[in-house]
């Protein structure tokens, strides 16, 4: 049975109702998805505007809440950074719905691979057992695992605006920090699920750090981004949220990966050269991209996960400088406040599974990047240009895609700590923070999650 046209729309409707589609339709869907994904490179090019999402982990009703808060496909462009399955009760419905939306609207949704999109991991953390329980065989699990092998390893977002158009909405209750007015150059804005403004930071504002510290030190605040334990991620990673504005690199491409960086990868072009169509290896560059975590260390460190590495601010800043990036967006770590910016806002962790494992009590977040409406967009460098290696991006100007010596020295100064004025700041960022879907919308789950520790 073919799953094209109206059949695909009916499958989307059925999956939105949290009902699995027949096995033969899953087979056809996975076949079409592989045909589509094989045409994508290891690093998918994505144009802003786009909404970036972190781990979903089979929490189907929370995925529906994400679409309610962020807008539905195809009205909103989405980029999901992996870990669609395991842990939650509805990995099957969540992944198949996203796959249907990818086949139906290929230019409106981008899916990249997480460390849980793996045969070995899914046999331990729930997806394999869920497929057996719902279909009576492992066939559907095999079809999905074949799709996993074709998912891209990263995405490069270009054309993002450096400032936000401020939201014209009410201030959230109990927000007791100063909200800059709409005439300022807004860099960061945080909204709750009702579209109410929780935080807003003007670019290079002196009040940013004090505002953030005031919010984090106020025990009476009802904001989801309130006081939390100092280390809430996986052991050794110290993931908590902060968003104090940026003082960093000056160009506008954003690299999205599930986990993080690798000591074997110093340029985006090296990611493009990997053979991704395989089971996730236990070591090497592909493994590192899906498993690594940022941490408050210098250089590289051993990861307590047993795969990938820990990496510090110096690694991120050098990588961003060499590849002309303003930001790395990644997922992979539980963050109680939904998002965390680290290392002077050069990297951000986005977590999109609220109340993880139905018991962690965290909120979730999505990151919206707006479109640069000016003519100063981002122009891809050719292979011969200094510092680009075919994968870099430089701010377009009247001088052409090469920029000039001044812009080169400014990029260099941002890494070396020079106080020279920057030509371009990082992207304007709007975070939408949301809580788990109401319990009465879920129905009774089939079984309890199996493991107590987090991958």
- Condensed to tens digits (0 to 9), the pLDDT of residues 111-137 reads 999 999 999 999 999 999 999 999 999
Q: Where are the domains of the chain?
A: 40-438
Q: Which residue has the higher pLDDT, 155 or 185?
A: 155
Give the global pTM.
0.80
| 218-227, 333-342, 366-375: least confidently modelled range | 218-227
pLDDT(16) > 80? yes
Kindly state the average pLDDT of the residues 210-233.
37
Kindly state the average pLDDT of the residues 277-294.
98
| 435 within 8 A of 224, measured Cβ to Cβ | yes
Cα–Cα distances (Å) from 394 to 110, 146, 416, in that order, read: 23, 36, 19
pLDDT(359) > 50? yes
Active site residue: 116, 258, 321, 332, which one?
116
pLDDT(55) > 70? yes
> Whole-angstrom Cα distance, residue 216 to residue 185?
24
Task: Please provide the DSSP assignment of 145-171 as one string.
Answer: HHHHTTSBSEEEEESB-SSB----SPB
pLDDT(67) > 50? yes
Look up 258 and say whether it is catalytic: no
Q: Which residue has the higher pLDDT, 373 or 379?
A: 373
pLDDT band at 309 (very low <50, low <70, confident <90, very high): very high
Kindly state the average pLDDT of the residues 281-306.
97
pLDDT band at 166 (very low <50, low <70, confident <90, very high): confident
Q: What integer pLDDT is reported at residue 167 of this predicted model?
A: 85
Written as six digits, the tokens of 348 are: 């951000």
CATH of domain 40-438: 3.60.21.10
Beta strands in 57-204 (DSSP E): 78-80, 109-111, 154-158, 186-191, 197-202
What is the residue-averaged pLDDT of the chain? 80
């Amino acid at each position: 049975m073919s799953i094209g046209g109206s059949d695909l729309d009916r499958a989307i409707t059925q999956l939105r109702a949290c009902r699995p589609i027949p096995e033969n339709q899953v087979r056809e869907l996975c076949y079409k998805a592989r045909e589509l994904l094989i045409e994508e490179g290891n690093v998918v090019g994505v144009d802003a505007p786009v909404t970036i999402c972190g781990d979903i982990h089979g929490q189907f009703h929370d995925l529906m809440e994400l679409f309610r808060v962020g807008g539905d496909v195809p009205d909103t462009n989405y980029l999901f950074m992996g870990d669609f399955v395991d842990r939650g009760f509805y990995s099957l419905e969540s992944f198949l719905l996203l796959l249907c939306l990818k086949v139906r609207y290929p230019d409106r949704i981008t899916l990249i691979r997480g460390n849980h999109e793996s045969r070995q991991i899914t046999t331990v953390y729930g997806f394999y057992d869920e497929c057996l329980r719902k279909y009576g065989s492992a066939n559907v699990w095999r079809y999905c695992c074949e799709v996993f092998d074709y998912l891209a390893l990263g995405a490069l977002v270009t054309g993002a605006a450096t400032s936000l158009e401020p939201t014209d909405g009410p201030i959230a209750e109990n927000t007791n920090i100063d909200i800059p007015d709409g005439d300022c150059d807004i860099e960061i804005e945080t909204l709750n699920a009702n579209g109410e403004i929780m935080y807003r930071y003007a670019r290079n504002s002196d009040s940013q750090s004090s505002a953030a510290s005031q919010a984090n030190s106020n025990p009476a605040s009802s904001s989801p981004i309130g006081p939390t334990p100092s280390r809430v991620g996986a052991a050794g990673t110290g993931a908590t949220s902060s968003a104090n504005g940026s003082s960093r690199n000056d160009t506008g491409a954003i690299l999205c990966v599930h986990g993080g960086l690798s000591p074997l990868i110093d340029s985006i072009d090296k990611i493009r050269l990997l053979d991704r169509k395989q089971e996730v290896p236990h070591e090497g560059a592909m493994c590192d991209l899906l498993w690594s975590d940022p941490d408050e260390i210098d250089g590289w460190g051993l990861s307590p996960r047993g795969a990938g590495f820990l990496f510090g601010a110096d690694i991120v800043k050098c990588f961003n400088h060499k590849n002309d990036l303003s930001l790395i967006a990644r997922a992979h770590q539980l963050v109680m406040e939904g998002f965390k910016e680290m290392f002077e806002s050069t990297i951000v962790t986005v977590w999109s599974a609220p109340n993880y494992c139905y018991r962690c009590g965290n909120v979730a977040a999505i990151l919206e990047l707006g479109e640069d409406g000016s003519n100063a967009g981002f122009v891809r460098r050719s292979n011969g240009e200094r510092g680009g290696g075919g994968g870099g991006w430089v701010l377009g100007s009247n001088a052409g895609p090469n920029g000039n010596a001044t812009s080169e020295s400014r990029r260099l100064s941002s890494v070396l700590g020079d106080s020279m004025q920057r030509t371009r700041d990082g992207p304007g960022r709007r975070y939408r923070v949301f809580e788990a879907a109401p319990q009465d919308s879920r129905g009774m789950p089939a079984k309890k999650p199996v493991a107590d520790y987090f991958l």
